[in-house]
Amino acid sequence: MEAAIEVQGAVKSFGPIRAVAGVDLVVGQDEIYGLVGPSGAGKTTLIRMICGLLKRDAGKVRVLGHPIPEEKRKVEGRLGYMPQERALYRDLSVEENLLFFGQLNGMKRDKIRKRTAEILDFMRLTHLKRHLAENLSGGEKQRLSLACALLHRPELLVLDEPTVGLDPALRQEFWKHFHELRDHGHTLLLTTHYLEEAGRCTRVGFMRAGKIQAEGAPAELRARVARVQGGTPSMEEVFLSFASTEGK
Amino acid sequence: MSAARVWAVAMRVLRQMRHDVRLIVIMLVVPSLAMILFGFSFSGDIRGVELALIDEDRTDLTSEIVNSLKSDPTFQVTELLPAQDPEKLLLSGYQAVVRFPDKFTSLYYAHFAMGVATEAHGTLHLWLDESDPQIASAIRAGIADALMDVGEGGPVEVEEHPLYGVEVRFIDSFAPAIMGYVVTFVCSLLTLLSVVREKVDGTFERLWAAPLRRGEFILGYVIAFGLVALVQSALILGIGKLVFHLVINGSVFWALTCVILFAVGNVGLGTLLSALAQTESQAILMFPLVVLPSVLLSGMLWPLQAIPAVLRPLAYMVPLTYGNRLLRAVMVKGLPPWSEPVGLAGVLIFLVFTVVLATLTLRASVKQ
């Protein structure tokens, strides 16, 4: 099966700062791949390159079998992107936001209406559908933002810090959604700096200083650290272990 | 009240400004520009009105009047050969045509025949572009002064030939300028704010990850603000007609077509300016950069001829200068847009230039 995302030796600098310093990454279909790392690790820059929003300085990026950004147009309607900012039209209602992003992705009005009802139900936002986005709470905005990325049923979902700022109960709910999406055949690439969330991904890449320092399934990474340190390490301990190894 | 806390708040606000270099630049540029434009833009005197002169009599008396007109800085006089159609001359850019007919001098002197005043008098023909009443008044005053110079008014009758069939009042020539100004304000500034808001809220990121082209984005804005401009222009015309008995000498269809063309250019301008602003406060501070030249240098409040020569090249860089010219030609003179080639070309060049540049720069303004 063809990989959903293939990145080889990707490099991106902003002036003297090398935000992504030679990343290799393969995300298979039906995966939930988590890019985990502290702020400034290069996660957002990497996924913006994957979405074709930034041109790489070196390396190769292929998404759904197409080189990016060269063939970005062939991928756009098949990709759903949720940026770090909530990226909503605050002066549009919940359903108007969804209508706009549905139309942008080439959906017909009838289909948008049907899908909006489904997705609002899925996100538990139905009762708020006529409310302006600016009047929603932080968690509701976050759910609407995710709904906008999901509306057109993209094969690949790229989510930048989708759970940041959410309370633990809502984060739990989001992760339930992510696994349901995966079960429905979607591929998810997401970033997070919550280390405990890494354990919920099918595979995790620990990113630091523009590089992926370690990669694997959470159980596999834990086992690697346990072989050295013993015990049952948490994802935080796993990350710290790889970070200190890099330091040496 | 604690002076220390007040000072802390004031210092914090100033420190915040210090970190926004664009804001500082705009804050320094705007008052400087305002002072320079307000101070210099209206000299009070109208200078360099294009006057075509046809002297069919060619006598010492007519030469004397011609020389007097030439020495008046109000006019830029061009002497032309007889048998030219004055109306065509006005359409080609002259703002007035003066013709001394054959026998002007003999009729002038016949007035004093044998030392007795008679009914005879010289008749000077004047064709006048009345689309700008301020210029028309300056032309009438300049000609009256020239006639006074030669014979204290003398027995000369100035026969005016109304070109557009109606008397043009200030409000009639001001209404097209109001339409142009409103289109400038609404389309360029609201587009600027709206696009900057897309950047600030992050919706830009989502748009460019979706299958949306830059041209589609700009065209969408053009349609939305074009409709707004149409509604606003219809309101201006409706209120002008009902309340001020506005005389619209031309076609409302062509006037609204020109409004749409000008609106498209202004949406392009707003999008282009949005590349220079990263925050909404920077965008708001850019407003005077668009509004001040439009109000002071476009011929909206006073004719271009009343703007000092040193600022006039700047006036020709203001889009509303061409918008005003085109809308006045259509609404006051009753001409189709192509009969005002300078105004039409100016508006079209503005449209193409801003829309193409805006399309090219739009993607670059996604936050890096």
Mutate to test the interface with B, among A12, A45, A48, A191 (most CBs of B within 10 A): A48
Residues 6+ apart with CB under 8 A from B30: B285, B288, B289
**Residue at B317 is within a domain:** yes
- Cβ–Cβ under 8 Å, residues A27 and A50: no
Opening angle at CA A55, ends A52 and A58, nearest 5: 125
- Rounded Cα gap, residues A122 and A176, in angstroms: 11
Residue A80 to chain B, least CA–CA distance (Å): 8
**By C-alpha distance, which of A132, A166, A157, A195 is closest to A32?**
A157
Residue A247 has pLDDT above 60, yes or no: no
Return the SS3 of A204.
strand
Per-residue pLDDT of A127-181, as tens digits, reads: 999 999 999 998 899 899 999 998 998 999 999 998 887 788 888 888 988 998 8
- Rounded Cα gap, residues B99 and B80, in angstroms: 10
- Rounded Cα gap, residues B150 and A227, in angstroms: 114
Residues 6+ apart with CB under 8 A from B159: B123, B124, B125, B126
Per-residue pLDDT of A26-44, as tens digits, reads: 999 889 999 988 888 899 9
Q: In this complex, do A104 and B212 lie within 8 Å of one another by their Cβ atoms?
A: yes
Residue A248 has pLDDT above 70, yes or no: no
User: Tokens 């703002």 label which residue?
Assistant: B95
Residue B192 to chain A, least CA–CA distance (Å): 16
Together in a domain, B200 and B341: yes
Domain end (from B146, B162, B178)? B162
**Residue at B21 is within a domain:** no
Q: In this complex, do B201 and A89 lie within 8 Å of one another by their Cβ atoms?
A: yes
Together in a domain, B257 and B135: no
User: Tokens 């000299």 label which residue?
Assistant: B43
Together in a domain, B300 and B279: yes
- For residue A173, give both structure tokens: 């709910």
Together in a domain, B203 and B60: no
**Residue at B20 is within a domain:** no
User: What's the ipTM?
Assistant: 0.84
**Residue at B101 is within a domain:** yes
- Rounded Cα gap, residues B291 and B300, in angstroms: 12
Q: In chain B, which residues have their Cβ closer than 8 Å to the Cβ of A83?
A: 202, 205-206, 209
Q: In this complex, do A54 and B368 lie within 8 Å of one another by their Cβ atoms?
A: yes
Confidence at residue B316, expressed as pLDDT on a 0 to 100 scale: 92
Confidence at residue A245, expressed as pLDDT on a 0 to 100 scale: 66
B364 touches chain A (CB under 8 A): no
- Cβ–Cβ under 8 Å, residues B199 and B319: no
**Residue at B136 is within a domain:** yes
In B198-237, the residues whose Cβ lies within 8 Å of chain A are 201-203, 205-212
Q: In chain B, which residues have their Cβ closer than 8 Å to the Cβ of A53?
A: 205, 208-209, 366
Confidence at residue B287, expressed as pLDDT on a 0 to 100 scale: 86
Confidence at residue B363, expressed as pLDDT on a 0 to 100 scale: 64
Q: In this complex, do B206 and A73 lie within 8 Å of one another by their Cβ atoms?
A: no
H helix intervals, A123-194:
138-150, 168-183
Opening angle at CA B263, ends B260 and B267, nearest 5: 140
Together in a domain, B176 and B223: yes
- Rounded Cα gap, residues A93 and A133, in angstroms: 5
- For residue A122, give both structure tokens: 């899925």
Q: In chain B, which residues have their Cβ closer than 8 Å to the Cβ of A147?
A: none
Which position has the higher pLDDT, B34 or A7? A7
Q: In chain B, which residues have their Cβ closer than 8 Å to the Cβ of A20?
A: none
Together in a domain, B226 and B111: no
**Residue at B259 is within a domain:** yes
**Residue at B39 is within a domain:** no
Which residues form the domain of B153? 49-162
Confidence at residue B115, expressed as pLDDT on a 0 to 100 scale: 62
Domain end (from B147, B162, B177)? B162
Domain end (from B162, B179, B204)? B162
- Rounded Cα gap, residues A232 and A234, in angstroms: 7
Q: What average pLDDT does range A185-190 have in this prediction?
A: 92
Residue A76 to chain B, least CA–CA distance (Å): 5
Of A51, A77, A83, the CB nearest to B202: A83
Together in a domain, B243 and B148: no
Burial of B22 (C-beta count, 10 Å sphere; 0-12/13-18/19+): middle
Together in a domain, B183 and B155: no
Return the SS3 of A88.
coil
- pLDDT tens for chain B, 368 residues long, are 877 777 778 777 777 777 778 778 877 787 777 777 766 666 667 888 888 888 888 888 888 888 888 888 888 888 887 777 888 888 787 888 988 888 888 777 777 665 666 666 778 888 888 778 888 888 888 888 888 877 655 677 888 887 765 667 778 888 888 888 888 888 888 889 889 988 888 888 888 888 888 888 888 888 888 888 888 888 888 888 888 888 788 888 999 999 889 999 999 999 999 888 888 888 888 888 888 888 888 888 888 888 887 888 888 999 999 999 999 888 888 889 998 899 999 999 999 999 999 888 876 545 44
Give the CA dihedral B318, B324, B330, B331, nearest 10 degrees: 170
Q: Which CATH number is B141's domain given?
A: 3.40.1710
- Rounded Cα gap, residues B258 and B95, in angstroms: 22
- Rounded Cα gap, residues B77 and B49, in angstroms: 8
Confidence at residue B367, expressed as pLDDT on a 0 to 100 scale: 47
Per-residue pLDDT of A101-139, as tens digits, reads: 998 888 898 999 999 999 999 888 999 999 999 999 988
- For residue B294, give both structure tokens: 């439009």
Q: In chain B, which residues have their Cβ closer than 8 Å to the Cβ of A51?
A: 209
DSSP string across B202-262: THHHHHHHTT--HHHHHHHHHHHHHHHHHHHHHHHHHHHHHHH-----S-HHHHHHHHHHH
Together in a domain, B259 and B145: no
Of A51, A86, A104, the CB nearest to B211: A104
- Rounded Cα gap, residues B265 and B134, in angstroms: 28
Q: In chain A, which residues have their Cβ closer than 8 Å to the Cβ of B207?
A: 104
Inter-chain contacts counted by CB atoms under 8 A, chains A and B: 54
Of B202, B211, B212, the CB nearest to A87: B202
Number of Cβ atoms within 10 Å of the Cβ of A169: 9
- Rounded Cα gap, residues A34 and A43, in angstroms: 10
**Residue at B299 is within a domain:** yes
If one counts the domains in chain B, the total is: 2
Number of Cβ atoms within 10 Å of the Cβ of B194: 17
Together in a domain, B180 and B153: no
Q: In this complex, do B209 and A53 lie within 8 Å of one another by their Cβ atoms?
A: yes
Of all residues in chain A, the one with the smallest CA distance to B368 is A54
Of A84, A88, A149, the CB nearest to B203: A88
Q: In this complex, do B212 and A73 lie within 8 Å of one another by their Cβ atoms?
A: no
User: Tokens 């000077």 label which residue?
Assistant: B124
- For residue B240, give both structure tokens: 């002008």
Together in a domain, B211 and B312: yes
- Rounded Cα gap, residues A80 and A78, in angstroms: 7
CA distances from B261 to A200, B84, B214, B320 (A): 56, 34, 19, 12
Of all residues in chain B, the one with the smallest CA distance to A71 is B211
Q: How confident is the model at residue A46 (pLDDT cuts 50, 70, 90)?
A: very high
Together in a domain, B178 and B250: yes
Confidence at residue B117, expressed as pLDDT on a 0 to 100 scale: 62
- Rounded Cα gap, residues A129 and B200, in angstroms: 24
Per-residue pLDDT of A192-239, as tens digits, reads: 888 888 888 999 999 888 889 888 998 888 888 888 887 888 888 888
